[in-house]
């Protein structure tokens, strides 16, 4: 005969449920134990913030009143010293400058005035008496003779610089100089395409003879003069 087990007598059939419920209870107890806090009753408490309303009294604010400064003391009156007029003062008499009919008018002779001549330069083209080149003293047209003798002097003393010939330099040099009041040559200036040509032009002008100075209103004056010197290769 086969034995049959009563299902109600099986103790292992609800073991899983019991395990879960037990696990939940253990976790709840553990959480409560960890979060449980206790406080000591010391009976002390902070009274710094307990302010009695009855102690609040309104403190009157004092306002500083600015008093105006005292007025300055009055200035001392000036002491006027009275001086007796014992000294005699001479009176200044202004006489009239108008002439009367009884006075005679004396005629004044003509006053001689001395003419002052300024030391100026008078260009060669407008001067009254041109400078006289040596050899033109007897010529009637001394201006034309001067220019002719100048050209003759340049042709006689002309010498082409060798360095300018080798470099093929040519051109015109403008020469400006002044015939002084004593007939000498001064203030020589040159302007040309090359320094060697300018140097040769200065040498030619430096060999000019002393001349008779030019005159303006009968007085010797300085006379500026300019002439071109052309350097041309053959």
Q: Is residue 52 part of a domain?
A: no
* Structural domain total, the chain: 1
Q: Is residue 14 part of a domain?
A: no
- CB proximity list for 45: less than 8 A, separation 6 or greater: none
In the 8-state DSSP scheme, what is residue 183?
S
Distance, CA of 169 to CA of 41 (rounded, Å): 125
Grouping H, G, I as helix, E, B as strand and the rest as coil, residue 144 is helix
The verdict on residue 135 lying in a domain is no
- The parent domain of residue 164 ranges over 142-231
Residue 33 tokens read as: 């134990």
pLDDT at position 188 = 93
CATH number assigned to the domain comprising residue 146? 3.30.1150.10
The answer as to whether 199 is a domain residue is yes
103: in domain: no
Q: What is the largest CA-CA distance in the chain?
A: 203
**Is residue 188, in this structure, part of any structural domain at all?**
yes
CA angle 37/41/42 to nearest 5° reads: 130
Tell me whether residue 91 is in a domain.
no
Contacts (Cβ under 8 Å, ≥6 apart) of 222: 119, 120, 121, 122, 178, 179, 180, 181
Contacts 24+ apart (CB under 8 A), 3-10: none
Residue 150 in any domain: the answer is yes
DSSP letter (8 states) at residue 55: G
The per-residue b/e assignment along 137-161, b for 16 or more CB within 10 angstroms, e otherwise, is eeeeebbebbbebeeebbeeeeebb
- Tokens representing residue 23 in the block: 């696990």
pLDDT of residue 45: 47
212 with 137: CB under 8 angstroms? yes
Query: What is the residue-level pLDDT of the chain in tens, covering all 234 positions?
Result: 555 555 565 656 677 888 888 888 888 898 888 877 765 655 554 544 444 444 455 545 545 555 677 777 777 666 666 556 555 656 655 565 665 555 565 565 555 555 555 678 899 999 999 999 999 998 999 999 999 999 999 999 999 999 998 999 999 999 999 999 999 999 999 999 999 999 999 999 999 999 999 999 989 999 999 999 999 887
Whole-angstrom distance, CA of residue 163 vs CA of residue 196:
8
């Amino acid at each position: 005969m086969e034995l049959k087990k009563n299902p109600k007598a099986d103790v292992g059939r609800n073991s899983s449920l019991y395990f879960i419920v037990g696990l939940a209870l253990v976790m709840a107890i553990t959480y409560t134990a960890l979060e449980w806090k206790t406080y000591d009753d010391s009976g002390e408490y902070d009274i710094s913030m307990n302010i009695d309303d009855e102690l609040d009294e309104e403190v009157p604010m004092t306002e500083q009143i600015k008093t105006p400064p005292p007025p300055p003391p009055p200035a001392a009156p000036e002491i006027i010293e009275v001086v007796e007029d014992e000294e005699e003062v001479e009176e200044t008499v202004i006489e009239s400058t108008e002439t009367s009919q009884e006075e005679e008018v004396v005629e004044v002779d003509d006053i001689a005035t001395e003419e002052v001549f300024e030391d100026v330069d008078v260009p060669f083209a407008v001067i009254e008496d041109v400078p006289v080149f040596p050899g033109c003293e007897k010529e009637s047209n001394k201006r034309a003779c001067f220019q002719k003798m100048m050209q003759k002097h340049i042709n006689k003393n002309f010498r082409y610089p060798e360095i300018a010939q080798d470099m093929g330099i040519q051109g015109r040099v403008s020469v400006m100089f002044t015939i002084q009041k004593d007939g000498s040559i001064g203030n020589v200036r040159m302007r040309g395409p090359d320094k060697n040509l300018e140097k040769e032009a200065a040498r030619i002008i430096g060999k000019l003879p002393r001349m008779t100075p030019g005159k303006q209103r009968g007085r010797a004056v300085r006379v500026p003069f300019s002439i071109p010197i052309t350097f041309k290769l053959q």
